[in-house]
Structure 1
């Protein structure tokens, strides 16, 4: 399934159990480049999308625009692709450079973009006010039989505070992308694909019990999806090949087989998002770049 020394090969070497029957959900697609924002005020345009356990908020801000959270119930993520931010939380203040990822503690916080620009924020579904803003807010009304209930990971070493990490990390043989983890999310910023991906070197695979959100920040992609044939034919779907530009986001349900093919002529930038963090990636030595700051959840 994996070719040319893909670092994930060992994780999926053994065949998994046959897919369970029952609810096999549809994918959730959001094309922020083609649809109007859900919020357009105070110098901010914000597009929302939800997954089973999370909300993704993609925003474009004018200089000085701010994003405020009051009484945020748990830790959230701020991704700054190309502009700096001032982040304030619970009396703490931190100036964060562009090309950074930040984990913001629970409670009251503010994210201000002095120069404007793009910002991506990730929240768990505990942020009910943000779930309600998602165009697909009702997509999970029936529940998801293949996804266990969300459980946060252990608190960070030294307690909650603003934690910022530089994304200027060079590729390394044997490591998959640039992975960062907090108590609520795992974010993998994949290495930039220059030009189209070689169609002879794709990586189809599936996950048994968690969603994958693939966020396109630059370039264009084709998401290839294949629903498994269980003994229940009502689970079956036709293969889908979803062409998207950027910014866009696709939430892939388990146990759908998937692979994403970069198709743009220039830089193709993709970010994979998991809520809660993945244990399998966390157990790979050296893969999670901030592993020392966040303990791994106990094995069960």
Structure 2
């Protein structure tokens, strides 16, 4: 259910078939601002969370920090949300200087990120990279697969082959387009247009997804994630609603079938990033929504 001013109101079949689900999982919440880092070294503090198909790593990193991958099996995503930061990304014989406020897609194999100017560093990896599975704070929640989540099937490789691809997030808002969406063979990332002040409570967007999780990363501001689990025929499966308050940085992983909407409540800038693994078909089918669609074919 979307307000008529919401671009998602134009999506076809935007109501999930909740009646087909007979069981549901918990939401996964990570409030990094009140948690100890999973890993700390001289240059950075690192927090890790996961969903069924992905791992997310959030770091506060100083200048000179290095993040290396030796056996990366597929494309992964780097987000540098701070405009003042800068990084050098090395892959193969290619070296790319990446300014802050950018999203970067890095190919499989060996790669290195060196932070020239410090700031927030967000990395997204598919769950095919099993060497990372012991890092997430909530790793125990996924010892058994969660119900209703379709397992990842990578999308096609980029048309012109693998290379480091960097995109500025400084994209003007456009009428009819939902956020700032980029995709690769493993992820879709929507760096949403920020809320300046609280969200209008008369224009919320309660909806659900049939077979994929939504990861909502808060990098600035305050939010309430409102979640409602549908009733099934078995009352033992019924759950109370969640109205979970989050400051930043934090992560919420919302299960399939669960009705949800997020309310920005901070007085300043409230910035969310929505993450999906694999990419969403419905967003990809909307002309002009995926800003790098010409580089990545659909299945």
TM-score (norm 2): 0.96
Q: Deviations over 1:4-28 (max 9, x none)?
A: 4211112256655343343300000
- After the TM superposition, which segments of 4 or more aligned residues of structure 1 sit over 3 Å from their partners? 12-18
Q: Tell me whether 1:50 sits opposite 2:75 in the alignment.
A: no
Structure 2 residue ranges without an equivalent (≥5): none
Pick from 147, 150, 167: which aligns with 1:148?
150
Equivalent-residue separation in structure 2 for 1:18 and 1:86 (angstroms):
45
Aligned residue pair count:
297
SS of equivalent to 1:19: helix
- Aligned twin of 1:121: 123
- Aligned twin of 2:6: 6
Equivalent-residue separation in structure 1 for 2:230 and 2:57 (angstroms):
30
- Aligned twin of 1:227: 229
Q: Deviations over 1:78-102 (max 9, x none)?
A: 0001111110012210000110000
Equivalent-residue separation in structure 1 for 2:132 and 2:185 (angstroms):
19
Equivalent-residue separation in structure 2 for 1:129 and 1:17 (angstroms):
35
How far apart are 1:44 and its partner, in Å? 1.5
Equivalent-residue separation in structure 2 for 1:11 and 1:232 (angstroms):
32
Equivalent-residue separation in structure 2 for 1:213 and 1:149 (angstroms):
15
Pick from 271, 274, 277: which aligns with 1:275?
277
| Alpha carbons of structure 1 residues 15 and 192: separation in structure 2 relative to 1, 3 Å | closer
- Aligned twin of 1:241: 243
Equivalent-residue separation in structure 1 for 2:25 and 2:37 (angstroms):
25
Structure 1 residue ranges without an equivalent (≥5): none
Q: Deviations over 1:167-203 (max 9, x none)?
A: 1101111100000000000000110100000111100
SS of equivalent to 2:291: coil
| Alpha carbons of structure 1 residues 15 and 75: separation in structure 2 relative to 1, 3 Å | closer
TM-score (norm 1): 0.96
